[in-house]
């Protein structure tokens, strides 16, 4: 597979063209950002770790009937994926109050929700990724009702699968972000699934095992990412 021109560069990844118009290469960077890009830094080997974790989680989801964009991991930092027309709606699955949810509705962080919820946000760095209701999504023509229903139900399924998978590895899934896109008319799960996009707490100690260690200056960032990779993938 020949690597072509750079098509897009985001906060955590670079997308490159290939000689197949249906496939692109997703390159995982070490750069880290928080608070809508206001805080920036480098987490050494984050790209390598997140690529491996995402591969393992995408494989698990695929085995359980979730359609994703992943084709294969090419090397330490690159993953071959199906080219998507990104749907500009981020889906947030929540099991425990933390982050913006705890602040927004006044719940103490760590409060277990009566049932999991799925929230929708506009994928727009310039606007700070504001929360959207369905009517906003349809007004802005970001997704059709059928696409939104597929995304919401897939996110609920992903939540169930990830919750069980992480629990077996002594990790509690607090919340997570997923993105979707359209490939040949089909809505597919895209982007990545890793400590950048999931809040994970150790089930025995409640220690934060995710990007909150960077956001909140908790230290041991690289060590924590490596520990999550060890639990998810084995030795890397």
pLDDT in tens, 86-121: 999 999 999 999 999 999 999 999 999 999 999 999
Per-residue CA distances from 205 to 63, 118, 171, 213, 215 (Å): 31, 26, 10, 15, 19
Tell me if 121 is assigned to some domain: yes
Taken in order 229, 224, 173, 203, the sign of the CA dihedral is: positive
Burial group, residue 71, by CB count within 10 angstroms (0-12, 13-18, 19+): middle
Phi first, then psi: give them for residue 51, nearest 5 degrees: -65, -45
- Mapping DSSP onto H, E and C, the string for the chain reads CCEEEEEEECCCEEEEEECCCCEEEEEECCEEEECCCCEEEECCCHHHHHHHHHHHHHHHHHHCCCCECEEEECCCCEEEEECCEECCEEEEEEEECCHHHHHHHCCCCCCEEEEEEEEEEECCHHHCCCEECHHHHHHCCCCCHHHHHHHHHHHHHHHHHHHHHHHCCCEEEEEEEECEEEECCEEEECCCCCCCCEEEEECCCCCECCCHHHHCCCCCHHHHHHHHHHHHHCCC
Q: Name the band, by pLDDT with cuts 50, 70 and 90, for residue 138.
A: very high
Domain boundary among 49, 82, 115: 82
Tell me if 230 is assigned to some domain: no
Per-residue CA distances from 65 to 60, 157, 186 (Å): 9, 10, 14
Same domain? 117 vs 166 = yes
pLDDT at 231: 97
Tell me if 236 is assigned to some domain: no
CATH code at 65?
3.30.200.20
Given a contact cutoff of 8 angstroms between Cβ atoms, the answer to whether 16 and 29 are in contact is no
CATH code at 201?
3.30.470.20
Structural domain total, the chain: 2
Q: Name the band, by pLDDT with cuts 50, 70 and 90, for residue 1.
A: confident
CA 216 to chain centroid: 19
Tell me if 33 is assigned to some domain: yes
Domain boundary among 36, 54, 82: 82
pLDDT at 34: 87
pLDDT in tens, 20-68: 999 999 999 999 988 877 789 999 999 999 999 999 999 999 999 999 9
Tell me if 229 is assigned to some domain: no
- The domain in which residue 16 lies consists of 3-82
Same domain? 210 vs 96 = yes
């Amino acid at each position: 597979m020949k690597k072509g021109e750079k098509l897009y560069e985001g906060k955590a990844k670079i997308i490159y063209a290939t000689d197949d118009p249906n496939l692109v290469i997703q390159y995982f960077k070490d750069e880290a950002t928080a608070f809508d890009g206001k805080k920036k830094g480098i987490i050494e080997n984050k790209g390598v770790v997140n690529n491996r974790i995402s591969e393992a989680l995408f494989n698990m989801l695929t085995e359980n009937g979730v359609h994703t964009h992943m084709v294969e991991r090419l090397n330490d930092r690159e993953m071959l994926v199906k080219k998507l027309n990104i749907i500009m709606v981020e889906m947030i699955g929540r099991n425990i109050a933390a982050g913006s949810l705890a602040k927004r509705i006044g719940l103490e962080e760590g409060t277990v929700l009566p049932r999991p919820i799925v929230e929708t946000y506009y994928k727009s760095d310039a606007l700070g990724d504001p929360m959207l209701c369905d009517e906003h999504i349809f007004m802005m023509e970001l997704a059709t009702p059928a696409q939104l229903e597929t995304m919401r139900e897939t996110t609920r399924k992903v939540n169930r699968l990830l919750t069980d998978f992480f629990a077996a590895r002594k990790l509690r899934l607090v919340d997570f972000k997923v993105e979707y896109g359209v490939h040949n008319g089909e809505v597919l799960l895209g982007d990545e699934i890793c400590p950048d996009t999931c809040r994970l707490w150790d089930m025995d100690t409640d220690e934060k095992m995710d990007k909150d260690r960077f956001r909140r200056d908790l230290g041991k960032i690289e060590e924590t990412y490596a520990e999550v990779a060890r639990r998810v993938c084995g030795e890397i």
